């Protein structure tokens, strides 16, 4: 049976009394529509309201939801038991980001820490959770960046904040957690980092090289601390170069390639420069070499060589690699700038003196 609400008269009551049969349906709806929910007095402005689970009364809260959407005074957010857990995601709009900030310190106090921590394993068994920070995927364009930046110290003689990335410890026969950073490209040291020969000791002030004309010598100096485009070869010339004959040359350069313990190395040239008019006098020399394709972590080798029918340049020497560890090699009958790469650099003899040299990057 249909009821036409317009044919039902409004009762005399001022409020919609659903228990009063004389209150019309239309009147009850009109009264409800005109009502404004009024909270009890004394509540915090913009606070998120909570309901008393027993009596249903409105309760105050310290969590504030501002008109601009900002939320403050949140102590913790716990994900649900569903598989997705808890996801915090910035909107799919260019330039939007997610920041986890530690709180600012007081006038003399330290700033708060920002911590991203995976959950513990189960009480009796189970693996600890993973903590993953992922930059946004691109539909078209660049992917989102992930930035971990500690705050600067403020004031006099105050420490900067630390960036700590730590994996979890194992229990029993389990494995320790791993720290995996893919595509690492960071500046670990300043612009004056100095690479020295690995595993070799300095000699005395009388040791000198005994370079063979037409031989390229290669000395391993360690791994690149960052991507570089130039490097400076530092050494002392003890005997000046004098050109003579066809194909005369004097060159220094940089190669890359893995060290082979007690063996030969496969090396590729990444830069070189002519030093015929630099090593033609004795003394300390600093030679800049332009390099290309050198990324952080690449193994670097310093190379030098000269060809002449007159006087070869010689350099201050180190102690020879008596155990032939694999860090000092050479390529015979070659010119440094023209050798076909990759080239096999042969392990040098246990008595051959390498150059006392450094590579500033």
Domains, the chain, ranges and CATH? 5-34 (no CATH), 194-360 (2.60.120)
First vs last C-alpha separation in the chain: 91
pLDDT band (50, 70, 90) for residue 130: low
CB 301 within 8 A of CB 267: yes
pLDDT of 333 over the 70 cut: yes
Rounded to an integer, the average pLDDT of 192-207 is: 78
Rounded to an integer, the average pLDDT of 220-249 is: 93
Phi, psi of 5 (to 5 degrees): -65, -25
Using a pLDDT cut of 90, give the percent of the chain over it. Answer: 39
What is the structure's pLDDT at 7? 44
> Which of 17-26, 200-209, 234-243 is the least confident region?
17-26
**Can you list the alpha helix ranges (DSSP code H) found in the chain?**
25-34
Decide which of 10 and 45 is more confident: 45
CA dist list (Å): 305 to 72, 184, 273, 316: 67, 34, 11, 14
What is the structure's pLDDT at 80? 62
Rounded to an integer, the average pLDDT of 355-360 is: 93
pLDDT band (50, 70, 90) for residue 352: very high
CA dist list (Å): 177 to 44, 101, 127: 45, 25, 10
Q: Please name every residue paired with 300 in a beta bridge, in sequence order, or none if there are none.
A: 222, 256
pLDDT of 187 over the 60 cut: no
3-state secondary structure of 30: helix
pLDDT of 190 over the 60 cut: no
For the segment 65-115, what is each residue's pLDDT rounded down to a tens digit?
888 877 787 777 776 665 556 676 666 666 566 666 666 666 666 766 666
CA–CA gap between residue 265 and residue 260 (Å, rounded): 6
Measured from the Cβ of residue 17, the count of other Cβ atoms closer than 10 Å reads 14
CB 152 within 8 A of CB 162: no
For the segment 22-64, what is each residue's pLDDT rounded down to a tens digit?
666 666 666 655 655 555 566 777 877 777 777 667 777 788 8
pLDDT band (50, 70, 90) for residue 150: confident
What is the structure's pLDDT at 151? 76
pLDDT of 126 over the 70 cut: no
Mean pLDDT of the chain: 79
pLDDT of 4 over the 50 cut: no
Rounded to an integer, the average pLDDT of 266-276 is: 97
Decide which of 341 and 163 is more confident: 341
What is the structure's pLDDT at 1? 40
pLDDT of 131 over the 80 cut: no
Phi, psi of 6 (to 5 degrees): -70, -15
Decide which of 41 and 333 is more confident: 333
What is the structure's pLDDT at 303? 97
CB 90 within 8 A of CB 98: yes
Angle at 43 between CA 40 and CA 44, to 5 degrees: 155
What is the structure's pLDDT at 102? 65
pLDDT of 11 over the 50 cut: no
pLDDT of 290 over the 80 cut: yes
pLDDT band (50, 70, 90) for residue 294: very high
pLDDT of 232 over the 80 cut: yes
What is the structure's pLDDT at 24? 63
pLDDT of 336 over the 90 cut: yes
pLDDT band (50, 70, 90) for residue 277: very high
What is the structure's pLDDT at 330? 97
């Amino acid at each position: 049976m249909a009821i036409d609400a317009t044919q039902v008269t409004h009762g005399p009551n001022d409020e919609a009394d659903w228990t009063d049969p004389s209150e019309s349906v239309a009147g009850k709806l009109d009264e409800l529509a005109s009502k404004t929910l009024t909270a009890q007095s004394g509540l915090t402005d913009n606070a998120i309201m909570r309901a008393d689970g027993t009596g249903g009364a409105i309760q105050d809260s310290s969590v504030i939801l501002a008109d601009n959407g900002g939320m403050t005074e949140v102590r913790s957010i716990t994900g649900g038991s569903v598989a997705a857990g808890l996801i915090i995601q910035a909107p799919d709009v260019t330039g939007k980001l997610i920041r986890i900030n530690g709180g600012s310190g007081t006038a003399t106090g330290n700033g708060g820490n920002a911590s991203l921590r995976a959950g513990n394993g189960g009480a009796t068994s189970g693996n600890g959770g993973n903590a993953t920070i992922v930059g946004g995927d691109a539909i078209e364009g660049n992917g989102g960046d992930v930035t971990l930046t500690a705050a600067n110290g403020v004031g006099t003689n105050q420490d900067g904040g630390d960036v700590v990335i730590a994996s979890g410890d194992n229990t029993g026969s389990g494995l320790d957690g791993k720290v995996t950073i893919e595509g690492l490209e960071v500046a670990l040291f300043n612009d004056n980092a100095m690479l020295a020969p690995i595993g070799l000791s300095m000699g005395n002030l009388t040791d000198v090289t005994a370079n063979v004309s037409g031989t390229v010598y290669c000395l391993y100096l360690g791994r690149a601390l960052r991507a570089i485009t130039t490097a400076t070869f530092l050494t002392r010339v003890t005997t000046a170069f004098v050109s003579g004959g066809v194909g005369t040359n004097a060159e220094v350069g940089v190669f890359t390639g893995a060290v082979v313990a007690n063996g030969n190395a496969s090396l590729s040239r990444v830069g070189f420069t002519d030093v015929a008019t630099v090593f033609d006098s004795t003394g300390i020399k600093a030679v800049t070499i332009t390099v290309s394709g050198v990324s952080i972590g690449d193994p670097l080798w310093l190379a030098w060589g000269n060809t002449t029918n007159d006087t070869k340049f010689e350099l201050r020497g180190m102690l020879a690699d008596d155990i032939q560890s694999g860090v000092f090699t050479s390529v015979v009958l070659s010119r440094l700038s023209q050798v076909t790469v990759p080239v096999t650099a042969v392990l040098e003899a246990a008595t051959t003196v390498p150059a006392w040299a450094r590579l500033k990057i």
